[in-house]
């Protein structure tokens, strides 16, 4: 608790002004107020100290930083912008991946893409990192595409890696979510029939459903009903329907007068669509949040790419239509992010260029010229990225924490700045 402040009080006309303690007021409410003010004051002091400490770390970091922007809405329908910084810090001779919240700001409605852009730029300027940005992720940001274009225009491509070609990056999870969300309309009819069947069984014939399940010695699992706007819940509904396939077919045979049950051709489509959703759902589950292993993402995404190209040739019109739409959406989103994920795979000493070459030749099995062109394009982009970092670090050869610097990457001495990158310098990527 704060001690009572001293105050000046005139004692008498014949005596000089003296400093005496202010009278202590024995008021519990006043003491509580002073305690609250003191706690707020010390909390702000600690927050300011932490902010200055983080800012010092960001400014001294030898490499660039990336940011992610998320929109969050509270239960009271208030909108907030959440700005997060991702960077690598060199601590005790180890590289540590850091993720720090920079700002959590309330947004007054209505807000526009320009206002969001200006707010992001203002906060980056406050932190002094507007010239250290490597990439931005705007997966959960309103008007993300517009905001990304405006940020790129203001930050100026010449200050960014590869003139801004790698500036806007989507997360793999977001790509897969968008791929399904924007394609599942093609399966709305079959989804509606499954939903109708599950609702009928669950709310009108559930006792009979349980009796048949026991008769067939089925382990009891939830019979899920989906939320139409949430594809993972639709997957769980399809999965539970497939699990109880025998039970539901038996009920359909006994209650043939009802049209709520699926026909045999419908069941074939449901099982094929469940397989598609199962692969995507479980791939997303593999992507860790706390300790992301970016070098493994490329392989997982390429496997989905291969499967989508296979599924689009399904004999079922519904499955082929859904898979074809998913493939179109996936390639549109993945093409932007694929180079970054490919670089992470190349830098994995277990893979180097082998993983890239294997999957591209598998994906474009009938278009080997396309496969070679794409492999060469990514390898050339990787060379150019290396040279960008080499140029940026030309004055920092003596930095012990130069993870991005060409001396550490290539394992060789310094070279003239205008000297092109040699293949043998680049971690033997062609081996």
Mean pLDDT of 405-426: 35
Q: Angle at the Cα of 43 (from 42 to 45), degrees rounded to 5?
A: 60
Q: Which two tokens stand for residue 334?
A: 């993945």
Q: Is the pLDDT of residue 113 over 80?
A: yes
Identify the CA nearest to 171 among candidates 313, 291, 370, 340. Answer: 340
Q: Which residues are registered as beta bridge partners of 67? A: 85, 136
Q: Is the pLDDT of residue 357 over 50?
A: yes
In the chain, where are the structural domains located? 63-169, 179-363
Pick among 3.40.50, 1.10.150, 3.30.450, 3.30.420: CATH of 63-169: 3.30.420
Query: Can you tell me the distance from the alpha carbon of 413 to that of 403, in angstroms, rounded to the nearest whole number?
Result: 15
Omega before residue 84 within 30° of 0, cis:
no
Percent of the residues in the chain that have a pLDDT greater than 70, as a whole number: 80
Query: Can you tell me the distance from the alpha carbon of 244 to that of 238, in angstroms, rounded to the nearest whole number?
Result: 10
Query: Can you tell me the distance from the alpha carbon of 293 to that of 279, in angstroms, rounded to the nearest whole number?
Result: 19
Mean pLDDT of 393-398: 54
Question: What single-letter DSSP state applies at residue 365?
Answer: T
Choice among 174-188, 318-332, 381-395, 398-412 with the minimum mean pLDDT = 398-412
Q: Is the pLDDT of residue 213 over 70?
A: yes
Q: Is the pLDDT of residue 4 over 80?
A: no
pLDDT digits (tens, 9 = 90+) for 86-100: 998 888 888 888 899
For residue 345, the model assigns a pLDDT of 92
255 falls in which pLDDT band (50, 70, 90)? confident
Write the DSSP assignment of 114-163 as a string of letters. Answer: HHHHHHHHHHHHHHT-TTSEEEEEEEESTTHHHHHHHHHHHH-GGGSGGG
For residue 110, the model assigns a pLDDT of 85
Between 4 and 347, the higher pLDDT residue: 347
Query: Can you tell me the distance from the alpha carbon of 277 to that of 242, in angstroms, rounded to the nearest whole number?
Result: 13
Are 59 and 129 in contact, with CB atoms under 8 Å apart? yes
For residue 408, the model assigns a pLDDT of 33
């Amino acid at each position: 608790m704060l001690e009572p402040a001293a105050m000046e009080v005139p004692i008498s006309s014949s005596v000089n002004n003296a400093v005496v303690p202010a009278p202590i007021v024995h008021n519990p409410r006043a003491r509580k107020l002073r305690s609250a003010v003191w706690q707020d004051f010390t909390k702000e002091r600690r927050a300011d100290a932490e902010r200055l400490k983080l800012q010092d770390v960001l400014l001294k970091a030898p490499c660039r930083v990336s940011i992610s922007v998320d929109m969050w809405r509270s239960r009271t329908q208030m909108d907030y912008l959440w700005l997060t910084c991702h960077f690598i810090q060199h601590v005790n001779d180890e590289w540590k991946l850091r993720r720090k919240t920079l700002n959590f700001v309330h947004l007054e409605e209505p807000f526009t893409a320009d206002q969001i852009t200006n707010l992001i730029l203002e906060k980056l300027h406050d932190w002094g990192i507007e010239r250290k940005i490597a990439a931005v992720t705007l997966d959960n940001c309103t008007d993300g595409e517009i905001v990304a274009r405006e940020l790129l225009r203001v930050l100026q491509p010449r200050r960014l890696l590869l003139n801004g070609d790698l500036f806007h990056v989507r997360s793999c999870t977001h790509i897969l979510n968008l791929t399904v969300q924007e394609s599942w309309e093609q399966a709305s009819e079959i989804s509606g029939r499954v939903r109708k069947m599950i609702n009928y069984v669950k709310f009108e014939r559930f006792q009979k459903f349980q009796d048949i399940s026991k008769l067939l010695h089925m382990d009891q699992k939830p019979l899920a009903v989906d939320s139409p706007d949430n594809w993972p819940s639709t997957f769980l509904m399809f999965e539970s329907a497939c699990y109880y396939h025998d039970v539901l077919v038996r009920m359909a045979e006994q209650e043939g007068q009802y049209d709520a049950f699926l026909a045999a051709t419908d069941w074939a489509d449901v099982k094929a669509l469940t397989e598609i959703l199962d692969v995507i759902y479980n791939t997303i589950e593999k992507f860790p949040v706390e300790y992301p292993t970016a070098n493994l993402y490329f392989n997982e995404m390429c496997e989905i790419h291969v499967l989508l190209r296979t599924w689009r040739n399904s004999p079922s019109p519904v499955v082929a239509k859904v898979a074809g739409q998913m493939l179109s959406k996936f390639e549109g989103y993945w093409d932007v992010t694929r180079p970054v994920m490919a670089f992470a795979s190349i830098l994995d000493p277990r893979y180097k260029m082998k993983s890239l070459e294997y999957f591209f030749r598998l994906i474009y099995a009938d278009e080997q010229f396309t496969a070679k062109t794409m492999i060469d394009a990514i390898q050339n982009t990787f060379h150019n990225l290396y040279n960008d970092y080499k140029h940026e670090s030309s004055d920092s050869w003596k930095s012990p924490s130069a993870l991005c610097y060409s001396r550490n990457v290539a394992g060789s001495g310094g070279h003239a700045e205008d000297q092109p990158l040699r293949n043998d310098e680049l971690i033997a990527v062609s081996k």
